[in-house]
Chains A and B, each alone.
Chain A
Protein backbone atom coordinates (compact mmCIF):
# COMPACT_ATOMS: atom_id res chain seq x y z
CA UNK A 1 0.00 0.00 0.00
CA UNK A 2 3.08 2.25 -0.40
CA UNK A 3 2.96 3.15 3.26
CA UNK A 4 -0.59 4.53 3.02
CA UNK A 5 -2.55 3.74 6.17
CA UNK A 6 -5.41 1.38 5.57
CA UNK A 7 -7.94 -0.48 7.62
CA UNK A 8 -6.65 -3.75 6.23
CA UNK A 9 -3.32 -3.07 7.88
CA UNK A 10 -3.87 -2.50 11.59
CA UNK A 11 -0.20 -1.67 12.11
CA UNK A 12 -0.92 1.96 11.15
CA UNK A 13 -2.96 2.17 14.31
CA UNK A 14 0.11 1.35 16.33
CA UNK A 15 2.39 3.55 14.27
CA UNK A 16 0.24 6.67 14.28
CA UNK A 17 -1.72 5.96 17.45
CA UNK A 18 -0.30 8.81 19.51
CA UNK A 19 -0.74 11.34 16.72
CA UNK A 20 -4.33 10.22 16.07
CA UNK A 21 -5.13 10.36 19.78
CA UNK A 22 -3.63 13.84 20.10
CA UNK A 23 -5.64 14.98 17.09
CA UNK A 24 -8.81 13.44 18.55
CA UNK A 25 -8.23 15.17 21.88
CA UNK A 26 -7.61 18.58 20.33
CA UNK A 27 -10.63 18.12 18.08
CA UNK A 28 -12.85 17.10 21.03
CA UNK A 29 -11.87 20.17 23.06
CA UNK A 30 -12.21 22.55 20.10
CA UNK A 31 -15.54 21.03 19.06
CA UNK A 32 -16.95 21.40 22.59
CA UNK A 33 -16.19 25.12 22.63
CA UNK A 34 -17.50 25.34 19.07
CA UNK A 35 -20.75 23.72 20.22
CA UNK A 36 -21.04 26.29 23.03
CA UNK A 37 -20.53 29.20 20.64
CA UNK A 38 -22.98 27.77 18.13
CA UNK A 39 -25.60 27.22 20.85
CA UNK A 40 -25.10 30.79 22.14
CA UNK A 41 -25.62 32.16 18.63
CA UNK A 42 -28.47 29.78 17.82
CA UNK A 43 -26.49 28.69 14.77
CA UNK A 44 -27.75 25.24 13.87
CA UNK A 45 -25.41 24.82 10.87
CA UNK A 46 -22.22 25.30 12.88
CA UNK A 47 -23.81 23.42 15.76
CA UNK A 48 -24.18 20.45 13.43
CA UNK A 49 -20.64 20.82 12.12
CA UNK A 50 -19.13 20.95 15.61
CA UNK A 51 -21.28 18.07 16.81
CA UNK A 52 -20.08 16.00 13.86
CA UNK A 53 -16.50 17.00 14.72
CA UNK A 54 -16.92 15.89 18.32
CA UNK A 55 -18.57 12.63 17.26
CA UNK A 56 -15.67 12.08 14.83
CA UNK A 57 -13.18 12.57 17.66
CA UNK A 58 -15.04 9.95 19.68
CA UNK A 59 -15.01 7.66 16.64
CA UNK A 60 -11.23 8.10 16.35
CA UNK A 61 -10.94 7.37 20.07
CA UNK A 62 -12.94 4.19 19.64
CA UNK A 63 -10.76 3.21 16.69
CA UNK A 64 -7.34 3.69 18.26
CA UNK A 65 -8.14 3.93 22.00
Chain B
Protein backbone atom coordinates (compact mmCIF):
# COMPACT_ATOMS: atom_id res chain seq x y z
CA UNK B 1 0.00 0.00 0.00
CA UNK B 2 1.61 3.30 -1.11
CA UNK B 3 1.89 5.95 1.54
CA UNK B 4 -0.12 9.08 0.86
CA UNK B 5 -2.52 11.23 2.83
CA UNK B 6 -5.58 9.20 1.80
CA UNK B 7 -4.11 5.80 2.67
CA UNK B 8 -2.70 7.19 5.92
CA UNK B 9 -6.11 8.54 6.91
CA UNK B 10 -7.73 5.22 5.98
CA UNK B 11 -5.25 3.41 8.21
CA UNK B 12 -5.95 5.88 10.98
CA UNK B 13 -9.74 5.71 10.60
CA UNK B 14 -10.42 3.03 13.31
CA UNK B 15 -8.45 5.09 15.82
CA UNK B 16 -10.28 8.24 14.72
CA UNK B 17 -13.59 6.45 15.28
CA UNK B 18 -12.58 5.51 18.84
CA UNK B 19 -11.35 9.02 19.59
CA UNK B 20 -14.38 10.79 18.10
CA UNK B 21 -16.94 8.49 19.71
CA UNK B 22 -15.30 8.45 23.13
CA UNK B 23 -14.13 12.05 23.30
CA UNK B 24 -16.69 13.76 21.07
CA UNK B 25 -19.85 11.76 21.68
CA UNK B 26 -18.93 10.44 25.16
CA UNK B 27 -19.64 6.84 24.21
CA UNK B 28 -18.44 4.10 26.50
CA UNK B 29 -15.35 2.09 25.62
CA UNK B 30 -17.16 -1.10 24.70
CA UNK B 31 -19.61 0.66 22.39
CA UNK B 32 -16.91 2.75 20.69
CA UNK B 33 -14.63 -0.28 20.46
CA UNK B 34 -17.33 -2.36 18.78
CA UNK B 35 -17.90 0.38 16.21
CA UNK B 36 -14.15 0.75 15.61
CA UNK B 37 -13.85 -3.02 15.13
CA UNK B 38 -16.43 -2.86 12.31
CA UNK B 39 -14.57 0.07 10.71
CA UNK B 40 -11.22 -1.74 11.00
CA UNK B 41 -12.63 -4.90 9.36
CA UNK B 42 -14.25 -2.93 6.52
CA UNK B 43 -11.14 -0.83 5.83
CA UNK B 44 -8.90 -3.90 6.06
CA UNK B 45 -11.14 -5.85 3.66
CA UNK B 46 -11.85 -3.18 1.06
CA UNK B 47 -8.61 -1.17 1.07
CA UNK B 48 -5.80 -3.25 2.61
CA UNK B 49 -6.43 -6.58 0.90
CA UNK B 50 -7.38 -8.61 3.98
CA UNK B 51 -9.13 -11.84 3.00
CA UNK B 52 -11.53 -13.90 5.15
CA UNK B 53 -8.74 -16.32 6.19
CA UNK B 54 -6.55 -13.46 7.43
CA UNK B 55 -9.43 -11.86 9.33
CA UNK B 56 -10.33 -15.21 10.94
CA UNK B 57 -6.79 -15.86 12.17
CA UNK B 58 -6.40 -12.24 13.24
CA UNK B 59 -9.51 -12.42 15.39
CA UNK B 60 -8.23 -15.61 17.02
CA UNK B 61 -4.90 -13.87 17.80
CA UNK B 62 -6.83 -10.98 19.27
CA UNK B 63 -8.93 -13.18 21.56
CA UNK B 64 -5.78 -14.78 23.01
CA UNK B 65 -4.39 -11.31 23.79
CA UNK B 66 -7.76 -10.30 25.24
CA UNK B 67 -8.07 -13.39 27.44
CA UNK B 68 -4.60 -12.65 28.79
CA UNK B 69 -5.92 -9.28 30.02
CA UNK B 70 -9.40 -10.48 31.03
CA UNK B 71 -7.85 -13.10 33.32
CA UNK B 72 -6.46 -10.20 35.36
CA UNK B 73 -9.51 -7.94 35.22
CA UNK B 74 -11.91 -10.56 36.58
CA UNK B 75 -9.58 -11.77 39.31
CA UNK B 76 -8.41 -8.25 40.30
CA UNK B 77 -12.06 -7.27 40.74
CA UNK B 78 -12.65 -10.45 42.74
CA UNK B 79 -9.75 -9.66 45.07
CA UNK B 80 -10.90 -6.08 45.47
CA UNK B 81 -14.51 -6.99 46.31
CA UNK B 82 -13.39 -9.71 48.75
CA UNK B 83 -11.20 -7.10 50.48
CA UNK B 84 -14.07 -4.64 50.35
CA UNK B 85 -16.51 -7.13 51.89
CA UNK B 86 -14.06 -7.80 54.71
CA UNK B 87 -13.83 -4.08 55.47
CA UNK B 88 -10.19 -3.75 54.37
CA UNK B 89 -10.89 -0.92 51.95
CA UNK B 90 -12.67 1.08 54.64
CA UNK B 91 -9.79 0.30 56.96
CA UNK B 92 -7.21 1.68 54.50
CA UNK B 93 -9.45 4.70 54.19
CA UNK B 94 -9.17 5.29 57.92
CA UNK B 95 -5.57 4.11 58.31
CA UNK B 96 -3.99 6.43 55.76
CA UNK B 97 -5.43 9.60 57.28
CA UNK B 98 -3.94 8.31 60.57
CA UNK B 99 -0.57 7.79 58.89
CA UNK B 100 -0.62 11.23 57.37
CA UNK B 101 -3.45 13.74 57.42
CA UNK B 102 -2.07 15.29 54.23
CA UNK B 103 -4.55 14.36 51.52
CA UNK B 104 -2.04 14.84 48.70
CA UNK B 105 0.46 12.57 50.47
CA UNK B 106 -2.27 9.96 50.83
CA UNK B 107 -2.89 10.21 47.08
CA UNK B 108 0.83 9.89 46.39
CA UNK B 109 1.19 6.83 48.61
CA UNK B 110 -1.65 4.99 46.88
CA UNK B 111 -1.81 6.47 43.37
CA UNK B 112 1.92 6.79 42.72
CA UNK B 113 3.98 4.50 44.97
CA UNK B 114 1.54 1.65 45.59
CA UNK B 115 0.35 1.65 41.95
CA UNK B 116 3.98 1.56 40.74
CA UNK B 117 4.73 -1.31 43.09
CA UNK B 118 1.74 -3.24 41.75
CA UNK B 119 2.93 -2.52 38.20
CA UNK B 120 6.32 -3.94 39.08
CA UNK B 121 4.80 -7.17 40.31
CA UNK B 122 1.83 -7.70 38.08
CA UNK B 123 1.03 -4.97 35.62
CA UNK B 124 -1.53 -5.64 32.89
CA UNK B 125 -4.01 -3.22 34.44
CA UNK B 126 -3.66 -4.49 38.04
CA UNK B 127 -2.31 -1.16 39.42
CA UNK B 128 -5.34 0.75 38.18
CA UNK B 129 -7.83 -1.97 39.07
CA UNK B 130 -6.54 -2.20 42.65
CA UNK B 131 -5.50 1.34 43.59
CA UNK B 132 -8.28 3.36 41.91
CA UNK B 133 -11.06 1.96 44.13
CA UNK B 134 -8.84 2.42 47.20
CA UNK B 135 -8.44 6.09 46.27
CA UNK B 136 -12.21 6.42 45.93
CA UNK B 137 -12.47 4.87 49.38
CA UNK B 138 -10.22 7.69 50.62
CA UNK B 139 -12.66 10.27 49.29
CA UNK B 140 -11.14 11.14 45.91
CA UNK B 141 -13.66 11.38 43.09
CA UNK B 142 -13.79 8.40 40.70
CA UNK B 143 -12.30 10.51 37.90
CA UNK B 144 -9.44 11.69 40.14
CA UNK B 145 -8.85 8.12 41.31
CA UNK B 146 -8.55 6.68 37.79
CA UNK B 147 -6.36 9.58 36.62
CA UNK B 148 -4.02 9.32 39.62
CA UNK B 149 -3.61 5.56 39.50
CA UNK B 150 -3.14 5.54 35.70
CA UNK B 151 -0.63 8.38 35.54
CA UNK B 152 1.14 7.39 38.76
CA UNK B 153 2.49 4.09 37.43
CA UNK B 154 3.30 5.18 33.85
CA UNK B 155 7.05 5.42 34.54
CA UNK B 156 7.09 1.83 35.89
CA UNK B 157 5.46 -0.01 32.98
CA UNK B 158 8.58 -0.75 30.89
CA UNK B 159 10.53 -2.39 33.71
CA UNK B 160 7.34 -3.55 35.43
CA UNK B 161 5.70 -6.97 34.98
CA UNK B 162 9.21 -8.37 35.42
CA UNK B 163 10.40 -6.17 32.50
CA UNK B 164 8.26 -8.01 29.95
CA UNK B 165 8.11 -4.99 27.62
CA UNK B 166 11.83 -4.40 27.86
CA UNK B 167 12.55 -8.06 27.15
CA UNK B 168 10.36 -7.76 24.06
CA UNK B 169 12.35 -4.71 22.94
CA UNK B 170 15.56 -6.75 23.24
CA UNK B 171 14.03 -9.71 21.40
CA UNK B 172 12.64 -7.63 18.53
CA UNK B 173 15.80 -5.55 17.96
CA UNK B 174 18.28 -8.33 18.83
CA UNK B 175 20.32 -5.77 20.79
CA UNK B 176 21.76 -6.44 24.26
CA UNK B 177 20.09 -5.20 27.44
CA UNK B 178 23.36 -3.64 28.56
CA UNK B 179 23.09 -1.28 25.55
CA UNK B 180 19.37 -0.41 25.74
CA UNK B 181 18.91 -0.66 29.51
CA UNK B 182 20.74 2.46 30.75
CA UNK B 183 19.06 5.02 28.42
CA UNK B 184 15.65 3.43 29.00
CA UNK B 185 16.15 3.46 32.79
CA UNK B 186 17.37 7.07 32.66
CA UNK B 187 14.42 8.36 30.61
CA UNK B 188 11.86 6.51 32.73
CA UNK B 189 13.59 7.21 36.04
CA UNK B 190 13.46 10.94 35.35
CA UNK B 191 9.83 10.53 34.24
CA UNK B 192 8.93 9.38 37.76
CA UNK B 193 9.10 13.07 38.74
CA UNK B 194 6.40 14.40 36.37
CA UNK B 195 4.26 11.33 37.12
CA UNK B 196 4.47 12.08 40.86
CA UNK B 197 3.86 15.79 40.38
CA UNK B 198 0.81 15.12 38.20
CA UNK B 199 -0.62 12.78 40.84
CA UNK B 200 -0.04 15.48 43.46
CA UNK B 201 -1.69 18.09 41.23
CA UNK B 202 -4.73 15.94 40.42
CA UNK B 203 -5.10 14.99 44.08
CA UNK B 204 -4.36 18.30 45.75
CA UNK B 205 -4.11 21.08 43.15
CA UNK B 206 -1.24 23.58 43.10
CA UNK B 207 -1.26 23.79 46.89
CA UNK B 208 -0.78 20.04 47.11
CA UNK B 209 2.10 20.21 44.62
CA UNK B 210 3.83 23.00 46.59
CA UNK B 211 3.46 21.18 49.88
CA UNK B 212 4.61 17.77 48.65
CA UNK B 213 7.22 18.89 46.11
CA UNK B 214 10.24 18.07 48.34
CA UNK B 215 8.82 14.60 49.03
CA UNK B 216 8.02 13.98 45.36
CA UNK B 217 11.49 15.15 44.31
CA UNK B 218 13.23 12.96 46.90
CA UNK B 219 11.11 9.92 46.06
CA UNK B 220 11.68 10.42 42.31
CA UNK B 221 15.44 10.59 42.81
CA UNK B 222 15.43 7.53 45.07
CA UNK B 223 13.22 5.47 42.74
CA UNK B 224 14.97 6.65 39.56
CA UNK B 225 18.42 5.84 40.93
CA UNK B 226 17.30 2.47 42.31
CA UNK B 227 15.80 1.49 38.97
CA UNK B 228 18.90 2.71 37.09
CA UNK B 229 21.17 0.78 39.48
CA UNK B 230 19.19 -2.44 39.11
CA UNK B 231 19.13 -2.12 35.31
CA UNK B 232 22.87 -1.39 35.07
CA UNK B 233 23.43 -4.39 37.35
CA UNK B 234 21.48 -6.40 34.72
CA UNK B 235 18.62 -7.11 37.15
CA UNK B 236 16.13 -5.26 34.96
CA UNK B 237 13.41 -7.81 35.73
CA UNK B 238 13.16 -6.21 39.19
CA UNK B 239 13.79 -2.64 38.00
CA UNK B 240 10.34 -1.22 38.72
CA UNK B 241 9.51 -3.54 41.63
CA UNK B 242 12.71 -2.74 43.51
CA UNK B 243 12.44 0.99 42.81
CA UNK B 244 8.81 1.18 43.95
CA UNK B 245 9.51 -0.92 47.04
CA UNK B 246 12.28 1.46 48.08
CA UNK B 247 9.92 4.34 47.24
CA UNK B 248 7.21 2.91 49.51
CA UNK B 249 9.65 2.53 52.41
CA UNK B 250 10.95 6.08 51.97
CA UNK B 251 7.39 7.35 51.46
CA UNK B 252 6.19 5.84 54.74
CA UNK B 253 9.28 7.31 56.46
CA UNK B 254 8.46 10.72 55.01
CA UNK B 255 5.01 10.64 56.58
CA UNK B 256 6.75 10.73 59.98
CA UNK B 257 8.28 14.14 59.19
CA UNK B 258 6.62 17.02 61.05
CA UNK B 259 5.34 18.55 57.84
CA UNK B 260 3.38 15.40 56.92
CA UNK B 261 2.97 14.13 60.48
CA UNK B 262 -0.16 12.39 61.78
CA UNK B 263 -2.54 14.47 63.77
CA UNK B 264 -5.11 11.80 64.52
CA UNK B 265 -4.60 9.45 67.43
CA UNK B 266 -6.01 6.31 65.80
CA UNK B 267 -4.34 2.98 66.46
CA UNK B 268 -2.38 1.59 63.54
CA UNK B 269 -2.60 -2.03 64.61
CA UNK B 270 -6.34 -2.44 64.86
CA UNK B 271 -9.46 -0.64 63.79
CA UNK B 272 -13.03 -0.73 64.99
CA UNK B 273 -15.72 -1.43 62.41
CA UNK B 274 -19.19 0.11 62.30
CA UNK B 275 -20.52 -2.62 64.61
CA UNK B 276 -17.92 -1.90 67.24
CA UNK B 277 -15.92 -5.10 66.57
CA UNK B 278 -12.14 -4.78 66.59
CA UNK B 279 -10.37 -5.80 63.42
CA UNK B 280 -6.78 -6.84 63.17
CA UNK B 281 -4.77 -4.81 60.67
CA UNK B 282 -2.51 -7.73 59.66
CA UNK B 283 -5.55 -9.94 59.03
CA UNK B 284 -7.31 -7.19 57.11
CA UNK B 285 -4.26 -6.64 54.89
CA UNK B 286 -3.66 -10.34 54.38
CA UNK B 287 -5.21 -10.23 50.88
CA UNK B 288 -2.53 -7.83 49.64
CA UNK B 289 0.23 -9.47 51.70
CA UNK B 290 -0.61 -12.83 50.12
CA UNK B 291 -0.60 -11.16 46.70
CA UNK B 292 2.91 -9.77 47.29
CA UNK B 293 4.29 -13.05 48.64
CA UNK B 294 2.77 -15.16 45.86
CA UNK B 295 3.82 -12.75 43.09
CA UNK B 296 7.42 -12.71 44.29
CA UNK B 297 7.41 -16.44 45.04
CA UNK B 298 6.02 -17.51 41.69
CA UNK B 299 8.26 -15.18 39.71
CA UNK B 300 11.48 -15.69 41.62
CA UNK B 301 11.46 -19.36 42.69
CA UNK B 302 12.71 -20.91 39.47
CA UNK B 303 11.57 -24.55 40.03
CA UNK B 304 8.07 -23.34 40.92
CA UNK B 305 8.05 -21.06 37.89
CA UNK B 306 9.20 -23.90 35.66
CA UNK B 307 6.48 -26.20 37.05
CA UNK B 308 3.72 -23.64 36.52
CA UNK B 309 5.02 -22.82 33.04
CA UNK B 310 4.11 -26.34 31.97
CA UNK B 311 0.44 -25.39 31.99
CA UNK B 312 0.22 -23.04 29.05
CA UNK B 313 -2.39 -22.45 26.42
CA UNK B 314 -1.69 -20.99 23.02
CA UNK B 315 -2.53 -21.39 19.34
CA UNK B 316 -0.23 -21.61 16.33
CA UNK B 317 -0.72 -19.20 13.46
CA UNK B 318 0.50 -19.63 9.88
CA UNK B 319 2.07 -16.89 7.76
CA UNK B 320 -0.59 -14.37 6.81
CA UNK B 321 -0.46 -12.29 3.62
CA UNK B 322 -2.77 -9.56 2.39
CA UNK B 323 -3.67 -9.18 -1.28
CA UNK B 324 -1.38 -6.13 -1.28
CA UNK B 325 1.60 -8.20 -0.11
CA UNK B 326 1.84 -7.30 3.59
CA UNK B 327 3.21 -10.38 5.33
CA UNK B 328 2.86 -11.36 8.98
CA UNK B 329 5.24 -14.20 9.80
CA UNK B 330 3.99 -17.51 11.18
CA UNK B 331 4.03 -17.32 14.96
CA UNK B 332 2.69 -18.67 18.22
CA UNK B 333 -0.19 -16.72 19.68
CA UNK B 334 -0.02 -15.20 23.13
CA UNK B 335 0.94 -17.92 25.63
CA UNK B 336 -1.44 -17.90 28.57
CA UNK B 337 0.12 -19.39 31.71
CA UNK B 338 -2.95 -21.00 33.19
CA UNK B 339 -1.43 -21.42 36.68
CA UNK B 340 1.44 -18.89 36.77
CA UNK B 341 -0.37 -15.97 35.16
CA UNK B 342 -0.77 -12.72 37.16
CA UNK B 343 -4.50 -13.44 36.98
CA UNK B 344 -3.91 -16.85 38.57
CA UNK B 345 -1.84 -15.18 41.31
CA UNK B 346 -4.75 -12.82 41.94
CA UNK B 347 -7.15 -15.77 42.03
CA UNK B 348 -5.03 -17.68 44.57
CA UNK B 349 -4.73 -14.51 46.66
CA UNK B 350 -8.49 -13.97 46.48
CA UNK B 351 -9.36 -17.49 47.56
CA UNK B 352 -6.81 -17.58 50.39
CA UNK B 353 -7.86 -14.14 51.59
CA UNK B 354 -11.53 -15.18 51.50
CA UNK B 355 -10.67 -18.21 53.61
CA UNK B 356 -8.84 -16.05 56.16
CA UNK B 357 -11.58 -13.40 56.30
CA UNK B 358 -14.24 -16.06 56.68
CA UNK B 359 -12.41 -17.74 59.55
CA UNK B 360 -11.84 -14.34 61.17
CA UNK B 361 -15.58 -13.68 60.95
CA UNK B 362 -15.22 -10.67 58.63
CA UNK B 363 -17.80 -11.98 56.15
CA UNK B 364 -21.44 -11.36 56.94
CA UNK B 365 -24.24 -13.66 55.67
CA UNK B 366 -24.75 -13.26 51.91
CA UNK B 367 -21.15 -12.17 51.43
CA UNK B 368 -20.50 -14.14 48.24
CA UNK B 369 -23.53 -12.62 46.50
CA UNK B 370 -22.35 -9.13 47.45
CA UNK B 371 -18.88 -10.01 46.17
CA UNK B 372 -19.74 -11.73 42.89
CA UNK B 373 -22.50 -9.41 41.67
CA UNK B 374 -20.28 -6.31 41.35
CA UNK B 375 -17.46 -8.46 39.95
CA UNK B 376 -19.65 -9.59 37.04
CA UNK B 377 -21.22 -6.15 36.60
CA UNK B 378 -17.85 -4.43 36.57
CA UNK B 379 -15.96 -6.93 34.47
CA UNK B 380 -18.35 -7.84 31.68
CA UNK B 381 -18.60 -4.39 30.10
CA UNK B 382 -14.84 -3.86 30.31
CA UNK B 383 -14.26 -7.29 28.84
CA UNK B 384 -16.36 -6.48 25.79
CA UNK B 385 -14.49 -3.20 25.32
CA UNK B 386 -11.16 -4.98 25.46
CA UNK B 387 -12.22 -7.76 23.08
CA UNK B 388 -13.38 -5.15 20.56
CA UNK B 389 -10.38 -2.81 20.87
CA UNK B 390 -7.74 -5.54 20.83
CA UNK B 391 -9.50 -7.04 17.80
CA UNK B 392 -9.27 -3.67 16.06
CA UNK B 393 -5.59 -3.28 16.99
CA UNK B 394 -4.56 -6.73 15.77
CA UNK B 395 -6.44 -6.27 12.48
CA UNK B 396 -4.60 -2.97 11.99
CA UNK B 397 -1.28 -4.58 12.77
CA UNK B 398 -1.73 -7.69 10.62
CA UNK B 399 -2.90 -5.79 7.56
CA UNK B 400 -0.10 -3.21 7.53
CA UNK B 401 -2.29 -0.32 8.65
CA UNK B 402 -0.25 0.31 11.80
CA UNK B 403 3.00 0.19 9.86
CA UNK B 404 1.64 2.69 7.36
CA UNK B 405 0.72 5.02 10.21
CA UNK B 406 4.23 4.80 11.63
CA UNK B 407 5.90 5.30 8.26
CA UNK B 408 3.80 8.37 7.60
CA UNK B 409 4.83 9.89 10.89
CA UNK B 410 8.51 9.07 10.60
CA UNK B 411 9.00 10.09 6.96
CA UNK B 412 7.68 13.55 7.57
CA UNK B 413 10.23 14.33 10.25
CA UNK B 414 14.00 14.71 9.65
CA UNK B 415 16.91 14.01 11.97
CA UNK B 416 16.34 17.28 13.82
CA UNK B 417 12.71 16.55 14.70
CA UNK B 418 12.60 12.76 14.78
CA UNK B 419 13.92 12.49 18.37
CA UNK B 420 10.91 14.59 19.38
CA UNK B 421 8.59 12.28 17.46
CA UNK B 422 10.03 8.90 18.57
CA UNK B 423 8.48 8.83 22.07
CA UNK B 424 5.12 9.96 20.70
CA UNK B 425 5.24 7.12 18.16
CA UNK B 426 5.85 4.69 21.03
CA UNK B 427 2.97 6.29 22.91
CA UNK B 428 0.70 6.02 19.84
CA UNK B 429 1.45 2.30 19.57
CA UNK B 430 0.66 1.80 23.24
CA UNK B 431 -2.49 3.91 22.97
CA UNK B 432 -3.77 1.84 20.05
CA UNK B 433 -2.80 -1.57 21.38
CA UNK B 434 -3.17 -0.84 25.10
CA UNK B 435 0.29 -2.18 25.82
CA UNK B 436 3.93 -1.05 26.08
CA UNK B 437 4.86 -4.57 24.99
CA UNK B 438 2.74 -4.51 21.83
CA UNK B 439 3.97 -1.04 20.93
CA UNK B 440 7.53 -2.36 21.04
CA UNK B 441 6.50 -5.28 18.84
CA UNK B 442 4.93 -2.91 16.33
CA UNK B 443 7.36 -0.02 16.22
CA UNK B 444 10.77 -1.00 17.63
CA UNK B 445 12.22 -2.19 14.32
CA UNK B 446 10.78 0.79 12.49
CA UNK B 447 12.30 3.15 15.06
CA UNK B 448 15.65 1.38 14.84
CA UNK B 449 15.80 1.56 11.04
CA UNK B 450 14.70 5.18 11.01
CA UNK B 451 17.39 6.03 13.57
CA UNK B 452 20.01 4.27 11.43
CA UNK B 453 18.86 6.12 8.29
CA UNK B 454 18.87 9.46 10.07
CA UNK B 455 22.22 8.64 11.77
CA UNK B 456 20.77 9.09 15.24
CA UNK B 457 21.74 7.12 18.36
CA UNK B 458 19.93 3.79 18.03
CA UNK B 459 19.93 2.98 21.80
CA UNK B 460 18.56 6.40 22.65
CA UNK B 461 15.81 6.33 20.00
CA UNK B 462 14.80 2.82 21.10
CA UNK B 463 14.81 3.98 24.72
CA UNK B 464 12.58 6.89 23.65
CA UNK B 465 10.28 4.38 21.91
CA UNK B 466 9.84 2.16 24.96
CA UNK B 467 9.71 5.09 27.42
CA UNK B 468 7.03 6.78 25.29
CA UNK B 469 5.14 3.49 25.11
CA UNK B 470 5.44 2.98 28.86
CA UNK B 471 4.03 6.44 29.57
CA UNK B 472 1.56 6.24 26.67
CA UNK B 473 0.10 2.92 27.77
CA UNK B 474 -1.65 4.61 30.68
CA UNK B 475 -3.77 6.60 28.19
CA UNK B 476 -4.92 3.50 26.30
CA UNK B 477 -8.69 3.11 26.29
CA UNK B 478 -8.26 -0.54 27.29
CA UNK B 479 -6.51 0.50 30.51
CA UNK B 480 -8.88 3.39 31.20
CA UNK B 481 -11.81 1.00 30.83
CA UNK B 482 -10.27 -1.26 33.48
CA UNK B 483 -9.89 1.66 35.90
CA UNK B 484 -13.37 3.01 35.23
CA UNK B 485 -14.98 -0.39 35.72
CA UNK B 486 -13.60 -0.60 39.28
CA UNK B 487 -14.85 2.81 40.42
CA UNK B 488 -18.37 2.79 39.01
CA UNK B 489 -17.59 4.73 35.82
CA UNK B 490 -18.13 1.69 33.62
CA UNK B 491 -20.46 3.50 31.24
CA UNK B 492 -18.74 6.83 31.32
CA UNK B 493 -15.10 6.34 30.36
CA UNK B 494 -15.13 9.48 28.21
CA UNK B 495 -15.04 11.73 31.29
CA UNK B 496 -11.64 10.23 32.04
CA UNK B 497 -10.35 10.07 28.45
CA UNK B 498 -10.19 13.82 27.93
CA UNK B 499 -8.12 14.72 31.01
CA UNK B 500 -5.95 11.62 30.75
CA UNK B 501 -4.92 12.53 27.21
CA UNK B 502 -3.95 16.00 28.42
CA UNK B 503 -2.08 14.92 31.56
CA UNK B 504 -0.69 11.74 30.01
CA UNK B 505 0.97 13.53 27.11
CA UNK B 506 2.98 15.80 29.43
CA UNK B 507 5.45 13.13 30.62
CA UNK B 508 5.77 11.89 27.01
CA UNK B 509 6.67 15.44 25.98
CA UNK B 510 9.22 15.44 28.80
CA UNK B 511 10.80 12.27 27.39
CA UNK B 512 10.91 13.90 23.93
CA UNK B 513 12.81 16.90 25.32
CA UNK B 514 15.15 14.65 27.31
CA UNK B 515 15.89 12.62 24.17
CA UNK B 516 16.89 15.79 22.33
CA UNK B 517 18.99 16.90 25.31
CA UNK B 518 20.80 13.55 25.57
CA UNK B 519 21.46 13.58 21.80
CA UNK B 520 22.81 17.12 22.05
CA UNK B 521 25.04 16.12 24.97
CA UNK B 522 26.23 13.10 23.01
CA UNK B 523 25.18 10.64 25.70
CA UNK B 524 24.61 7.07 24.40
CA UNK B 525 25.54 8.15 20.88
Contact = CB atoms under 8 A, between A and B. Distances in A.
Contacts of B383: 25
A51 B55 contact: yes
A18 B101 CA distance: 40
Chain B at the A interface: SS class: helix
B59 interface: yes
Contacts of B37: 58
A18 B377 contact: yes
B330 to A, nearest CB: 13
Contact of A38 (B35, B56, B315, B377): B56
A32 B63 contact: yes
Contacts of A48: 52
Nearest to A38: B56
A22 B60 contact: no
Nearest to B32: A65
Given A29-B63, A35-B59, A36-B57, A61 B52 contact: no
B63 A44 contact: no
A62 B39 CA distance: 13
B57 to A, nearest CB: 5
B296 interface: no
Contact of A21 (B57, B59, B315, B384): B384
B380 A28 contact: no
A55 B344 CA distance: 30
Contacts of A39: 53, 56-57, 60
A65 B59 contact: no
B384 A24 contact: yes
Nearest to A48: B52
A60 to B, nearest CB: 8
Contacts of A31: 59
A36 B376 contact: no
Nearest to B316: A40
Contacts of B381: 21, 65
Contact of B380 (A18, A55, A62): A18
A35 B60 contact: yes
Interface string B352-389: 00000000000000000000000011001101110110
B387 to A, nearest CB: 5
Contacts of B33: 61
A5 B194 CA distance: 51
B60 A33 contact: yes
A65 B384 contact: yes
Contact of B31 (A25, A44, A54, A61): A61
A58 B56 contact: no
A1 to B, nearest CB: 25
A31 B380 CA distance: 17
B319 to A, nearest CB: 13
A24 to B, nearest CB: 6
The DSSP consensus for interface residues of chain A is helix
A44 B35 CA distance: 25
B218 to A, nearest CB: 44
B30 interface: yes
A21 B29 CA distance: 13
Nearest to B491: A65
B57 A28 contact: no
Given A58-B34, A62-B34, A65-B384, A44 B60 contact: no
A38 B52 CA distance: 11
Most A-side CB within 10 Å, residue of B28, B33, B57, B387: B387
Given A18-B380, A58-B38, A36 B53 contact: no
Interface string B313-347: 00100000000000000000000000000000000
A28 B387 contact: yes
A65 B387 contact: no
Contact of B34 (A35, A51, A59): A59
B62 interface: yes
B67 interface: yes
Contacts of A36: 56-57, 59-60, 315
B383 to A, nearest CB: 5
A39 B317 CA distance: 10
B34 A44 contact: no
B34 A47 contact: no
Contacts of B57: 35-36, 39
B67 to A, nearest CB: 7
Contact of B67 (A29, A61, A65): A29
Nearest to B30: A65
A48 B31 CA distance: 23
A61 B385 CA distance: 8
Given A18-B380, A21-B384, A28-B387, A65 B34 contact: yes
Q: Which 4 A-B residue pairings sit nearest by Cβ, starting from the closest?
A: A32-B63, A36-B60, A65-B31, A65-B30
29 contacts: A18-B380, A21-B30, A21-B381, A22-B376, A24-B384, A25-B384, A25-B387, A28-B63, A28-B384, A29-B63, A31-B59, A33-B63, A35-B56, A35-B57, A35-B59, A36-B56, A36-B60, A39-B57, A39-B60, A47-B53, A47-B56, A48-B52, A51-B59, A58-B38, A59-B34, A61-B33, A61-B384, A65-B31, A65-B381
Given A32-B63, A61-B384, 12 more contacts: A21-B380, A28-B63, A32-B59, A35-B56, A36-B56, A38-B56, A39-B53, A39-B57, A39-B60, A48-B52, A61-B31, A65-B30
